[in-house]
Structure 1
């Protein structure tokens, strides 16, 4: 197949990856051009080899071939890992001699999206570096050469590393919902190898995602998991997103445990043996989390949202653990510091198995509050950042503490509210937490007033 260098919309070069609608914003020619641009960066970094992998989306196979061809035509040699979960690509870059990798994945976006997550010289690219790739595409710079192509199977080493690290003290019955994502062929077998009784749900790979959208941060997508946990009298249900770097959890009582409360359990366990450890969490997380970390002898560090941003802050702070509300969880303790939903799930099972109480009883001991999940407010991609800037400049919240590291987080004595622009979808994201329902409604009303002062036509679901 012949590929042509082409210009690409700047908007698909996002804060922590490249992502867009296939056939409209991205196509095979675009992936070829991106391959050429990435080759330029690899030469600058002194790298001549790179891992490449893909998820199970219908477009991923043809797109990864175009990306690889752009790299090979520039003299970069390819180690093709095939169709695997994103954390397996990260694992390869951390444990083998090649420290760069590209993952063709649309993550949790709708089926018509796809994109690339990028690790170069051991670092997951963030906004500035991703925008530099766009500039290289526009400039049309490229090297000429003939790289080699090799395939490589990372799966056995990855599985062995997890199984050798995790030790369960009792058998748990678990429903695993892979949402027809790429983790399906591997995840149930790994958890069985730990000694668990596994009930698989939607573990066949299907890039159409026919059963539900593969985004465990949306409670509606966990409905079948809740039902399966109840029907099978399971101890817990765990859901994974499309490329298996995010998770969601449902207890034996059908309660969704949002990732900030998962982080609380992880933090308490970690700090028992690692007093003084730094734990990083994103701006969407509960105020209880920071307080709990500090009270347990740790150092709490809030940061902007985004998997690549969290990893960068982890490195800067030498943190042992990190996480964000979307379900990305990062262990540096006993692991490598990248977001890995399967490893995080296994660490959770290890903690839960060490306590004879039920899963719901164990989480009942973790602080909770009146709160909302992420609330999405539709807005055009090209308008969301401008709107957010105007909101930060014009909104007025007297007697509140304002945090502006990512959007606007407004903290009151009785709770807080957050508004930020999503970096992956055309929407604003809001979240609220308070000590009681009346306080929550008051904070939401303040945000509604300020939002409608800026745009009366904005559709709000809170």
Structure 2
């Protein structure tokens, strides 16, 4: 049974994330925890899915704490000292919803998720009536916002001279980012800040096309210094400069990674990221005196735990994948609100241009190759041999697909999609188009041989 993807359980409420599934998942999870705090984003189906999950948890003997509507990072914060569940489909469209588990501020590990899948498959029986859990309520949002303001205030400079436009996309970031930035001193203009699961202002995913209103708003107003957009649950962030141009997500990672490595007081500061992240992050981290480690998409928290176990003089200074950042000093959850707070204070101190100037931005392109699900494993096995042979001077990593870094700092990544019938191909180079097509031809040959 494969219920969990890279970010919990997610899919259409009519066919996958149904109340029946939520009940079964809750009962399977409730066997292994005494208390669960539950929150949801603004989706219309969130109340019903949460209710079904609560019934499953309580009937397994777990106590439930209702936290109402929250950004996902606030639920991560609220899960300190207990388990947590966020009902959200993040940037997916309105018909979808999802279930994401935390414990003590960290997303469940793969082993934790497999245990739940086993319980669902075995149709766990409810506890006896005398052992059912109880239900209470609390409001953890203010505590989370206080923690973000306190954390961000340790970095950069006050925001009194900054005007920032925040596009919440009708998501629950409206409950967090505008308030945090105002408390840090900024003047904040909001777009699509009424929370509704219909997402009438724009689709939840903050792509360049979907945030065109924000881009135009910033571009047309000289007083606005910066634009920030989030997805439906506030774990993602997109940054728009004063000219209305989107700052590349990997460049944001490079700026923050180098900053936190420089701030670290351990001998071996590490930045944890994923295979699809640009080499510009590696370049900036090395220049700052740290090193980069990579882990699979959706498993930053497990990679962080592995690095932290290496010894007292090794610590993860920062972690992230495109659009999603983890601030270890605050907590091991992806947090678009905290990222907005810290980044804007760094911009207030240094200026965005100064922060971006050291980062070399080579063209980065991606284009998948069609591949039937049943052929992916065979094709990838072939590519583990053919691609290193095609690029003999490259540094090869086979941990999460095939990633090869070339002597001129170009790189490419080939990995099977976990959700679609593709093999994904990424390339970063001064001539990214040519490199991408060279690699795609080899991938096509492997797929053809595998089918």
The TM-score by the shorter chain falls in which range?
0.7 to 0.9
Deviation at 1:200, TM superposition (A): 0.7
Aligned equivalent of 2:13:
22
> Are the counterparts in 1 of residues 171 and 231 from structure 2 also a CA contact under 8 Å?
yes
Aligned equivalent of 2:91:
108
Aligned equivalent of 1:449:
441
Please give the residue correspondences for 1:63-462 in structure 2 after superposition, counting only pairs within 5 Å.
Answer: 63-94=49-80, 98-120=81-103, 123-144=106-127, 145-167=131-153, 168-170=157-159, 171-216=161-206, 218-233=207-222, 234-274=224-264, 276=267, 277-306=269-298, 309-318=299-308, 319-333=315-329, 335-355=330-350, 357=351, 359-372=352-365, 375=367, 382=373, 386=377, 389-390=380-381, 392-393=383-384, 395-396=386-387, 397-399=390-392, 400-414=394-408, 415-423=410-418, 428-434=423-429, 436-437=430-431, 440-455=432-447
> Are the counterparts in 1 of residues 38 and 67 from structure 2 also a CA contact under 8 Å?
yes
When normalised by structure 1's length, the TM-score is 0.86
Deviation at 1:367, TM superposition (A): 2.6
Deviation at 1:59, TM superposition (A): 1.2
- The residue matched to 2:201 in structure 1 has which SS? coil
Deviation at 1:51, TM superposition (A): 0.5
Deviations 1:133-169 (A, max 9, x none): 1111111123413211111100111122222333333
Deviation at 1:254, TM superposition (A): 2.6
Deviation at 1:428, TM superposition (A): 4.4
> Are the counterparts in 1 of residues 167 and 190 from structure 2 also a CA contact under 8 Å?
yes
When normalised by structure 2's length, the TM-score is 0.88
Aligned equivalent of 2:312:
none
Across the two proteins, how many residue pairs are aligned to each other?
429
Say which is worse superposed, 284-293 or 272-281, in terms of deviation.
272-281
> Are the counterparts in 2 of residues 185 and 204 from structure 1 also a CA contact under 8 Å?
no
> Are the counterparts in 2 of residues 39 and 71 from structure 1 also a CA contact under 8 Å?
yes
Deviations 1:70-96 (A, max 9, x none): 1111221111111111100111123xx
Deviations 1:306-359 (A, max 9, x none): 1xx1112112223343333331101123x123211101110101111112x4x2
Cα distance between partner residues in 1 of 2:158 and 2:142:
24
Cα distance between partner residues in 1 of 2:402 and 2:381:
11
> Are the counterparts in 1 of residues 375 and 447 from structure 2 also a CA contact under 8 Å?
no
CA, structure 1 residues 267+243, in 2 after alignment: closer, same or farther (shift >3 Å)? same
Cα distance between partner residues in 2 of 1:405 and 1:282:
11
Cα distance between partner residues in 2 of 1:250 and 1:140:
48
> Are the counterparts in 1 of residues 171 and 196 from structure 2 also a CA contact under 8 Å?
yes
Aligned equivalent of 1:460:
none
Cα distance between partner residues in 1 of 2:167 and 2:302:
30
Say which is worse superposed, 295-304 or 266-275, in terms of deviation.
266-275
Q: Structure 1: which 5+ residue stretches go unaligned?
A: 1-9, 43-47, 457-462
Aligned equivalent of 1:3:
none
- The residue matched to 2:333 in structure 1 has which SS? coil
- The residue matched to 2:42 in structure 1 has which SS? coil
- The residue matched to 2:165 in structure 1 has which SS? strand
Deviation at 1:189, TM superposition (A): 1.9
Say which is worse superposed, 161-170 or 403-412, in terms of deviation.
161-170
Cα distance between partner residues in 2 of 1:100 and 1:378:
39
CA, structure 1 residues 172+122, in 2 after alignment: closer, same or farther (shift >3 Å)? closer
RMSD: 2.4
